[in-house]
């Protein structure tokens, strides 16, 4: 059962780096794929808990632009897990009022995969209970490069001038356009780095690093991270604490 939590100072947007699947599996003498499979169950728990906690946006890092450098068999397994997740879980998520958005590059993805991702977004686009943002084939530097290219193309077409370029304009050209910046970023698996995830968007995000590996993630661990977030003093560069 999801622990009950006060809605006071609940982050609107939580981003998660789901790390540690491979190490979780190795510790048990299992192949890495077993860790990823257990990671999908942990993801289901996290989505349910986020909805129960009243979080509006949950962004998960499911496959990075750099993950293509892994062995081919592991890549195939991860892509297959995503396909299966979309096929099996989207109907249920839709029933629960979850709106799905997929960020990352669609370039060089198989047409069937693109269709699957587009369908999930289309099916759930009117929902409003929880926004689940899946970062797939996502890298923040690549995302920023694409945004810069789009802005330069508009400048060359005479649609905008150099003087109009602002942080807001750049935000509007990122994959995350229209989403609030994450208030809290949770990374499991004991590493303390951002790994090319939401670099622009996390300028004032609070970070919570969790030692447990992702497959062990529970609603209680999630609640603990939210509690830690509540203790933080968010000043956004000013001197007065501000609430999310």
Rounded Cα distance, 213 and 18, in Å? 8
The dihedral built from the CA positions of residue 91, 92, 95 and 98, taken in this order, carries a sign that is: negative
> Would you call 19 a catalytic residue per the annotation?
yes
Active-site residue (options: 67, 181, 196, 216): 67
Under the binding rule (CB under 6 A), the answer on residue 46 touching ligand FPP is no
Q: Among 19-27, 99-107, 203-211, 227-235, which window interacts with ligand FPP (CB under 6 A)? A: 19-27
Under the binding rule (CB under 6 A), the answer on residue 104 touching ligand FPP is no
Residue tagged 């006060």 (tokens): 6
C-beta separation of 183 from 229 below 8 A: yes
Under the binding rule (CB under 6 A), the answer on residue 139 touching ligand FPP is no
Please report how close the Cβ of residue 121 comes to ligand FPP at its closest, in angstroms.
14
Under the binding rule (CB under 6 A), the answer on residue 59 touching ligand FPP is no
Q: Among 17-25, 110-118, 148-156, 159-167, which window interacts with ligand FPP (CB under 6 A)? A: 17-25
With CB under 6 A as the rule, give the number of residues binding ligand FPP.
19
Tokens of 55: 């979080």
- Tell me how long the chain is: 244
Give the Å distances, CA to CA, from 225 to 153, 167, 188.
42, 29, 10
Please report how close the Cβ of residue 244 comes to ligand FPP at its closest, in angstroms.
25
Give me the torsion for CA of 138, 142, 145, 146, rounded to 10°: -40
> Would you call 67 a catalytic residue per the annotation?
yes
> Can you give the binding site for ligand FPP, defined by CB under 6 A?
18-23, 36, 39-40, 43, 62, 67, 78, 81-82, 85, 134, 189, 214
């Amino acid at each position: 059962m999801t622990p009950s939590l006060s809605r006071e100072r609940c982050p609107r947007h939580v981003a998660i780096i789901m790390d540690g699947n491979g190490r979780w599996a190795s510790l048990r003498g299992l192949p890495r794929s077993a860790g990823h499979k257990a990671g999908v169950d942990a993801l289901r728990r996290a989505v349910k808990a986020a909805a129960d906690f009243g979080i509006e946006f949950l962004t998960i890092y499911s496959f990075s632009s750099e993950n293509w450098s892994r062995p081919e068999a592991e890549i195939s397994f991860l892509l297959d897990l995503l396909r299966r997740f979309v096929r099996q879980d989207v109907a249920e998520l839709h029933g629960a009022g979850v709106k799905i958005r997929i960020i990352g590059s669609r370039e060089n993805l198989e047409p069937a995969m693109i269709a699957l991702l587009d369908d999930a977004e289309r099916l759930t686009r009117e929902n409003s209970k929880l926004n689940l943002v899946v970062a797939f084939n996502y890298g923040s530097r690549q995302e920023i490069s694409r945004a810069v290219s789009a802005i330069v193309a508009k400048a060359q077409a005479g649609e905008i001038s150099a003087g109009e370029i602002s942080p807001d304009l750049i935000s509007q050209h990122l994959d995350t356009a229209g989403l609030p910046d994450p208030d809290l970023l949770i990374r499991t698996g004991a590493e303390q780095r951002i790994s090319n995830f939401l670099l622009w968007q996390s300028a004032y995000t609070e970070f919570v690093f969790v030692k447990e590996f992702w497959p062990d993630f529970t609603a209680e661990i999630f609640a603990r991270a939210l509690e830690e977030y509540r203790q933080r003093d968010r000043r956004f560069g000013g001197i007065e604490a501000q609430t999310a």
